[in-house]
Structures are given as structure tokens and as C-alpha cells.
Structure 1
């Protein structure tokens, strides 16, 4: 008799308690590959990805590959991403694939099947999604995620300067758009009391007081928070505390450039990952 898979929220909560809150962003842009002495090619991408995974496994709560940096190399680059996701799964490292998918109906369902269906070539533990076609547009992905122990992170308050133009705008009911997204995440997340939801939010560590001022902390207490903007974008431990307040323990700190600059030496990467994990623990 088969048993239901453990929820992504529970697994993430357990891994965070064991390993800390650091998420390793894997963003192999051309300049970074060059600084590592690697060619800007699928072969360079493969060596880069393998090195990062081997160095940071055990020091981070999750790996967050940015799909675009693999896709720009065409099918060969996507094949490297498939290899990375499979290798991370085999190593017991959670993956949050940064793809920011967002569409409606069967198209959204197809995106979800590509990334959240067990056995899919691009299977990840969670993906980032955009709710700006309406929160209900994400229902096919949420249903598939919850059925298979996977997760979603909904863009809510992003770290880019233009984000407030849309995210702070108000609905006909005078509700900030970001607040409505947070309410939806909490509503569909299905978290048991005391457990983290499998449906999280992306909230940048550079958004100042907006997370609490707009009320996201109050309406979505169970959701994990994926927090970009740390390091090169200016945020540090003080900003994490200021932005998230009592929810800071649920904020997963995503670092890319500040971590990957320590490469290509595996030992140096591992040491930098452990230092960052300790800083934000």
C-alpha cells in the first residue's frame, strides 16, 4: 500500500532546522564562468554545476538554479540542468528551480508537469511561479505540487526596484496585490498546525518595511519565505531581521554572487557556504 509523500513544507522545515537558512543560487552567467576559467558553453556549465553541488551539499538548505542561464545554451544547456537536478536529488539536496512560470489552464498544468511531476526530466522539489495572471491561474501547479510532495514560491514582493508598481497596487477591494497573493498562498498551502506550508512566497530582503506594513506577515503565518537580495544587492543579517521581524526564521536566504565568487576551488566554496550559513543561522 503506497503512502502519501511527505509535504515539501515539512521537509523544508526539517532541513532548515538541521542546516540553516542558506539557499545557494546557481546563476552561471558568462562573466562568472570566465572568472572560474571555464568556457561559456555547455561543457563549462556542466563543470560549474558539478563543482557547486559537490562543494555546498551539506552546508545549504537548498540549491536554486536559475533556469535562464541554462536555457540560453539551448537543448545542451537544458540537459545540464536536468543532470544538476537529478544529481542534487541523488545527493539529498532540495532544489528550488527558479523558472517564474505563470500561465492559465492547460498551459500552466503543462509547466507544472515539466517541473513537479515525479520522474519528469526537469523535476525539482519546488519552483518559483508568477501569480500576475490571477492567483487562481496557479491552481493546476498547486494541485500537482500538493499531491506529490512538491512546493511553489509565489512572487509577492520582489527585490527589483520596479516591483512596487504592481505589487503595491490595490484591488477593487482596496487590498494590496501582494497581500492578496499572500492570502491565497496561506489558503491553499494546507499546512498542519506548527508546520510550514508547501506554498511559499518570494519576498526580497531589500523591500524595507513593505512585508509587514502591507500585512503579509499577519495573513500568511505558515508560509516559508524565499528572500533574494542578500549580498551583492545590499541586504545582510540586519535587513533580514528588519524586513521579516518575527517571521525571520522562515526566511530562506538566497545568495548567489556572494557565494559563487569563492570558486572554482571546492574547499573555498564549501568554506564560504558554511560561513554564510552560520551568519544567517
Structure 2
């Protein structure tokens, strides 16, 4: 959590960040407008990561709503990943750093509920990864390439040690580091989210680790350094399609295993 900035009235001459201004609320669903006003202040840059919102009682009086409406708004914004609520001394509701967690959780819930097929996640990831690679070829710096190489080196080291639990974290991190090379934060959030979702799907079926990850990633990096977007995209596309097939095969094995267990249980 960033250090809390000092907020001061807008008409002062202090260099600190001016106080956000809120409008009195008179709608039936007051908590929704509370959320809307906070989102508006964040969008305008008045509220930034680490800023603390007013205490519940003061905020309710300022907006002319009940404390219940404020609590409901905070819960909604916390679930959306915009606010972090802390208890105890020095606690309160803080504007949090933006990350891909909320996106990941929302899509994951839809997949788990059967509203979105896992194949849609894989398809979206394949399309987005290719676009990320093409942007990275245009925008990446040598520092970006070095960061990608360091991730691959660490993944290889953990693979050789057989430390697959720690290796998984670097497997997912690779896509975040790759996306950082686009210098587009939206791309970073989306690709991190889709990569984390894929990891979660693989864990559900206990998929065995693939052996071609290191070689594929080194080939992709080699093509990136050469600014050969087509070759890098083709290499990654072939890898992700193999991964998708690997995932689908494991899903089928898992389903057959569950069916066999169910039938055996009924026979008893």
C-alpha cells in the first residue's frame, strides 16, 4: 500500500493534492451513486492509489446518505478491486493499485459456473498473445528483452531442480513480462488475467508439466530481439495450440475418471 497522501481543500495554496468534491445523493439506490462518484474521482486523477476515503460517518454526512449505503458501496468497490478496506488502527478504505485480479476473478467465476467454456479462454489468450508479441516487436527495449530472458533462465533453473510449484509462478509471470514490453498497461492486465486463468484450468485437471516450454520461449525471445514479429507470433501460436490440446486431453481423462468413480459408487 502506498503512503497516504495529504489531501487539502482545493482553495488553499498548499502543494498537496486537493480534496475530491462529492455531490449530495438523493437517489433510491444511493450506494450505486457513491460508487459512481468515487470512480469518477479516480478517473479524473483526483483520487490515486494509496489515498484514503473519508471515515464512514463523515462520508455519509457529506453525501447525505446512510452509513449502510457507504458500507454497501465499499463492499462493491472492494469486490471490483478499486478499493481496499483495512481494519484496526490506521485502517479505512483506500484506493488500491490497479491489477488484473478483478478481471481474472470475474472470468474465472463465469468459467466455473459454465457460462464461459474453457476453449473461449484459450482462444482469447491466443489472439491477445499474438497482438502483444507484435506490439513488443515494435516497442520493446533491450531492458525489456533482458527481463524476459531472466524469467526464462529462472524457469529453466527451477525445471532442472524439479521445483514445479515455484516454476508455475514464473511460467505465468512470463506473459506479464512479455506484455510489459508493449508499454501498454491494459495489455498487461488482460494477458496476465488470461494466463492466470489458464494456469487455474491446468491445476483443475492436474495437467502434467510440458517439456517444450523453455525451448519455445527462447525461440520467441530470439525472434523478438530480431524484431521478427511473424516468426515470434507463429512460434507462440503453435505452442499455445499444443497447450490447448494438452488441456483438452486432460479434461477428457479427468471426466472419464470421474464417470468411472461415479458408476463404481452407484454399483456399491
Same fold? TM cut 0.5 = no
Instruction: Decide which structure has the larger Cα Rg and report it.
Output: 2
| TM-score scaled by length of structure 1 | 0.24
| TM-score normalised by the chain length of structure 2 | 0.24
Higher RCO, 1 vs 2 (CA within 8 Å, ≥6 residues apart):
1
